Structure 1
């Protein structure tokens, strides 16, 4: 096997009649059946649950689209998941994130002069800590909680956690290489 070959064969849309209804739902929610979902269709229950969770995180979040997409981009950078990063750049741009702010997510550790708002900066610091250290120190959590409360706080933490799941699956199975 080539070192960057996918480790699990994708299910080409339309090739498994028993998946037809699920493919229709995924395409309706996502606009298409991406390479990620073609791999996920190897386990229809996982593909279904994945779609439900990630749709909630992306489409029903109380976070601003800019914060959400910057956090997703940062997790992709930290986990070396270029497929995820490239998939979310258009979403970040559509959310009004500048190319400079997108480019700044690639710098590890972040530059002091990164062009992020204070809310974006603390959200990205949380993403860094959750992704790299897992445990969030009380001092950082207090700074996050000063900006994000209630549903926004949960949505932020869930976004970081969910996209760590996404990137780790993509990297482990070499999806999009």
Structure 2
């Protein structure tokens, strides 16, 4: 565990974009953050593409962890960017699924960000309390009468699907088929890709303690 003060600054060489990321923290991530400026000419366009997706926000610690390998960071940026902006699944369902993944995988940063986005998208706060508190629905478990708790029937279906994909991976036929009552085949693929992608995100964040969030309490629903 490394304890030191660090200052992170990114200035893109594109004159149209001049973004600065500056922070001071006692960091304990399991590897140091990558350089905040491109290490060579080949990495310059990658840094610029990631900065462009984040704009007007600065780069985040996740970016600076991935940028140890700019090619990996570039692929990640493209994939997650498509998941975020090029899918047709309603934001309420997408952010609910991501928030549930964060709870199951104990990804504090993922919960704090995406639970707030779920509320902004229209998920009821009582529903988010259910997302946070309800018991895991494993493969083979009977589908009960959980409807309510601030969630619609569609949201419950997504929650169950997310649970089984995240813990155990295999999904009951009935749980998968339930999605087709309100999602097209394309949207089922998009939702599945979203759940898979954000399981990847949460596992990366937690394993390396990116952003130094491990062990910190997740925000309460009333704080979102």
* CA distance 1:163–1:99, shift in 2 (3 Å): same
1:71 equivalent to 2:71? Answer no
- Give matches, 1:75-154, under 5 Å: 75-109=101-135, 112=146, 113-154=148-189
Whole-angstrom CA distance in 1 between matches of 2:173 and 2:123:
29
1:26/1:83 CA distance change after superposition, 3 Å: same
Which residue does the alignment assign to 2:198?
163
Matched, 1:5 2:28: yes
TM-score by length of 2: 0.72
Structure 1 residue 145: Cα displacement: 2.2
Q: Does the 8 Å contact 2:38/2:47 carry over to 1?
A: no
Moved more, 72-81 or 98-107: 98-107
The answer for unaligned runs of 5 or more in structure 2 is 3-26, 137-144, 213-224
What is the aligned residue count? 176
1:153 deviates by 0.5
Structure-2 separation of matches of 1:71 and 1:21: 32
Between 1:156-165 and 1:21-30, the stretch displaced more is: 21-30
Q: Give the structure 2 partner of residue 16 of structure 1.
A: 39
CA 20–89 in structure 1, closer or farther in 2 if over 3 Å, else same: farther
Question: Which structure features the higher share of helix residues?
Answer: 1
Rounded Cα–Cα distance in structure 2 between residues aligned with 1:114 and 1:8: 41
8 A contact 1:119–1:147 mirrored in 2: yes
Q: Of the candidates 49, 52, 65, which is equivalent to residue 39 of structure 1? A: 65
Q: Deviations over 1:34-75 (max 9, x none)?
A: 110110001111111111111111111110011111100000
Is 1:28 equivalent to 2:63 in the alignment? no
Q: Secondary structure at the match of 1:105?
A: helix
Partner SS for 1:106: helix
In 2, distance between residues paired with 1:108 and 1:176? 27
Shift of 1:174: 1.1
Aligned in 2, Cα 1:15/1:43: closer, same or farther, shift over 3 Å?
A: closer
Larger radius of gyration: 2
The whole-number CA distance in structure 2 between the counterparts of 1:121 and 1:147 is 12
| Partners of 1:23 and 1:33 within 8 A in 2 | no
TM-score of the aligned structures, taking structure 1 as reference length = 0.89
Alpha-carbon distance, 1:137 to partner: 1.1
